[in-house]
Structure 1
Amino acid sequence: MRETVTVSELDLALVNALQLRPRASWSELAPLLGVTAGTLARRWERLSAEGLAWVYAAPGREFSRNRCSAFVLLRCLPQDRARLAAGLSALPEAVTIELTGPGSADLLLDVLAPDLTALGRFLGEKLDRMPGILSVNCLFTTSLYVEGSRWRLRSLDPAQLTALGSPASAGEPSRTLTLDAVDRALLDELVRDGRLGLADLAERTATSPATVRRRVRRLTDSSVLTFRCDLASAPAGHPVPVSLLGRVPARDIAAVHRTLAALPECRLVAAVTGPANIFATLWVHDLGDIQRRETALCARLPSLTVTDRIVGLHTVKRMGHLLDEEGRRVGVQPISPW
């Protein structure tokens, strides 16, 4: 049994700062948090070693415009669920896997692929070969409005938030960025550890720190990747993940997006195909909060009809990072959807 680790207010403030500036140096963050750079380095080393927090690269906004993603709802027999989750964890296309409560799905997958053909192969070949799956419901993403890097811990005070500034906003690329071998090598390293320094990245990709700096800047500016700081369930306050499927007239989708995006507990909002055209994931305080949030949303958005609520019981894998039952990171199964 793993020893319980106490997370201090400084630890939470550090994680919150890294959510805003995931690759900031310790010397940059130290004066804002009122401690030395060495203290921050030691705190982060402990948080990372215990699987309580981690920084990594994930697909940016460019992915939803030029590549393919889907939410896949699987039904299976109860005795097959753990085995299927373990098998699915080895598949790079299944970037996030959640065991869900009884209802319309037993497993919820977030699937990313470079194109529709690759996504079709995953659905028609890889899933077909896995015994125990009773049904597959695929919701193709047509627009991604909010993704996980927007979620915040809210442990910093207003003065600290002002000093950190708003996260840099990537520009709209005029064309699709063509990735070469160096870009892909950098992405492969950064999905494992988003805080690797320039020298380490240069050594691992057989290039120079100057080249690494230039390439990483190009990848972020073009929205190919974004950096996230994620954390385990306990320091996040043991949130309950719930995914809502909803139906709304096409003319109101923008209003629904803005309303959901303004909620601090909102992790994701996407437009999807199927009878329901909105998919949103919230991290709420408890099960009762699901009904309260839904009631408030429907009051503000009369044209919205919530058609399903999928409660997450255990996230097995989140953007390629493997989690234990306490939500701590215990390994990485790197993704490569680019």
Structure 2
Amino acid sequence: MRESVIASELDLALVHALQLRPRASWAELAQPVGAGPGTLARRWERLSGDGLAWVYAAPGREFPRTRCTAFVRVRCRPGARQRLAALLSECTEVATVELTASRDAGLLLDVLTPGLPALTRFVTGRLEAMPGVTDVDCLVATSLSVEGSRWRLRSLGPAQLAELGRPGSGQRAPGAAVALDALDHALLDALVCDGRLGFAALAARTGASAATVRRRVSRLTGTGVITFRCDMADGLAGAPVPVTFLGRAPARDVSGIHRTLAALPECRVVAAVSGPDNILATLWLPDLGDVQRRETALGARLPSLTVTDRIVGLRTVKRMGHLLDADGRRTGVRPIRPW
């Protein structure tokens, strides 16, 4: 059994800085965080080695426009959830697997595929045939206003944030779907596992030159094919309670509701989805008591939104391809390949 690791204020500041600048060098982060590059490197080695924090590539802003995201509620026979969660965690189409407290959904999945045909093959050809599955409800995202890389730890002060600068600069305006070749896919596989791999290490893994790798990674990030995230174990994030709200609203109000939800600091995901419930939002709340308070507050601010369900997460087994233990620490990787 691993020993418990206590995160210091410096650890939390480092993780917050990496949320903003996931691939920044230790020298670039030293001044804003307030520690030398060597100290930051050692801290990160300790945090990542203990599964407390990790950096990885995830689908970027181009993904929901040109490819397919679905939120899938899986009902299963009693006693089958744990085994089914482990089986689904092996699937490259399944980015996230969450055990839920919902009577109607034993598991909640984030499924990412290159398009609707691939989603159909996965749901009807594989998921529905898995032992223990009794029903599947597939909510296809028609737009995605917020995704997990926007959530912040909030450990840095205003001056430190200003010194780090605004993330995401240099991205080009959305265009046509980006064509990917074998080298791109090899780079994606490597970066999904470890988003801080340097260009020399990526070159060694792919057989390309470091200059070529640099250009390709710049293209993948600049066109929004990927974004980089720094994620962390539940303890570092304050042990939040993940709650997914489903709701419905008139189509004319959806954009405004999305903007209001996206402005909430605890918001992880906001999507427009198919079906009678046309809005899905995932919030990381401080405690269970805040679920009702937050829903009441949203009802007052958004009178045209009717919340139809609230799904409390009991345990996240896999998040964006990374396997987590019961404490939310990373224990391994089952890479996603949705591109």
Q: TM-score, normalised by structure 2?
A: 0.98
Q: CA deviation at 1:298?
A: 1.1
CA distance, structure 2, for counterparts of residue 168 and residue 86 of structure 1: 34
Paired position in structure 1 for 2:138: 138
Q: Which amino acid aligns with 1:161?
A: L
Q: CA deviation at 1:171?
A: 2.4
Q: Which aligned pairs between 1:175-324 and structure 2 lie closer than 5 A?
A: 175-324=176-325
Q: CA deviation at 1:69?
A: 1.2
Q: CA deviation at 1:2?
A: 2.3
Map Cα deviations across residues 150-178 of structure 1 (whole Å, 9 max, x no partner).
00000001100000111124222322211
Paired position in structure 1 for 2:32: 32
Q: CA deviation at 1:46?
A: 0.3
1:100·1:310 contact (CA, 8 Å) conserved in 2? Answer: yes
Map Cα deviations across residues 81-118 of structure 1 (whole Å, 9 max, x no partner).
00100110111111100000032211000000001111
Q: CA deviation at 1:289?
A: 0.5
1:104·1:310 contact (CA, 8 Å) conserved in 2? Answer: no
2:187·2:206 contact (CA, 8 Å) conserved in 1? Answer: yes
Instruction: Could you list the structure 1 runs, at least 4 aligned residues long, displaced by more than 4 angstroms after superposition.
Output: none
Q: CA deviation at 1:35?
A: 1.1
Q: Which amino acid aligns with 1:33?
A: V
1:247·1:276 contact (CA, 8 Å) conserved in 2? Answer: yes
Paired position in structure 1 for 2:42: 42
Paired position in structure 2 for 1:78: 78
CA distance, structure 2, for counterparts of residue 257 and residue 102 of structure 1: 24
User: For 1:78, what is the secondary structure of its paired residue?
Assistant: coil
User: For 1:61, what is the secondary structure of its paired residue?
Assistant: coil
Q: Which aligned pairs between 1:71-150 and structure 2 lie closer than 5 A?
A: 71-150=71-150
CA distance, structure 1, for counterparts of residue 122 and residue 292 of structure 2: 35
2:98·2:315 contact (CA, 8 Å) conserved in 1? Answer: yes
Paired position in structure 2 for 1:328: 329
Q: CA deviation at 1:41?
A: 0.2
Paired position in structure 2 for 1:53: 53
CA distance, structure 2, for counterparts of residue 63 and residue 227 of structure 1: 14
User: For 1:134, what is the secondary structure of its paired residue?
Assistant: strand
CA distance, structure 1, for counterparts of residue 298 and residue 104 of structure 2: 22
2:59·2:227 contact (CA, 8 Å) conserved in 1? Answer: yes
The question of 1:174 aligning with 2:178 is answered no
User: For 1:254, what is the secondary structure of its paired residue?
Assistant: helix
User: For 2:56, what is the secondary structure of its paired residue?
Assistant: strand
CA distance, structure 2, for counterparts of residue 270 and residue 102 of structure 1: 20
User: For 2:229, what is the secondary structure of its paired residue?
Assistant: strand
46-55 or 289-298, larger mean C-alpha shift:
289-298
CA distance, structure 1, for counterparts of residue 172 and residue 240 of structure 2: 32
Q: CA deviation at 1:78?
A: 2.7
Q: Which amino acid aligns with 1:266?
A: C
Paired position in structure 2 for 1:67: 67
Q: CA deviation at 1:254?
A: 1.0
CA distance, structure 2, for counterparts of residue 293 and residue 205 of structure 1: 47
2:32·2:161 contact (CA, 8 Å) conserved in 1? Answer: no
CA distance, structure 1, for counterparts of residue 248 and residue 84 of structure 2: 30
User: For 2:80, what is the secondary structure of its paired residue?
Assistant: helix
Q: CA deviation at 1:249?
A: 0.6
The question of 1:152 aligning with 2:164 is answered no
1:17·1:156 contact (CA, 8 Å) conserved in 2? Answer: yes
CA distance, structure 1, for counterparts of residue 6 and residue 268 of structure 2: 25
Q: TM-score, normalised by structure 1?
A: 0.99
Say how many residue pairs are matched. Answer: 338
Q: CA deviation at 1:8?
A: 0.3
Map Cα deviations across residues 164-202 of structure 1 (whole Å, 9 max, x no partner).
111124222322211011111100100000000010001
CA distance, structure 2, for counterparts of residue 2 and residue 45 of structure 1: 16
2:128·2:135 contact (CA, 8 Å) conserved in 1? Answer: no
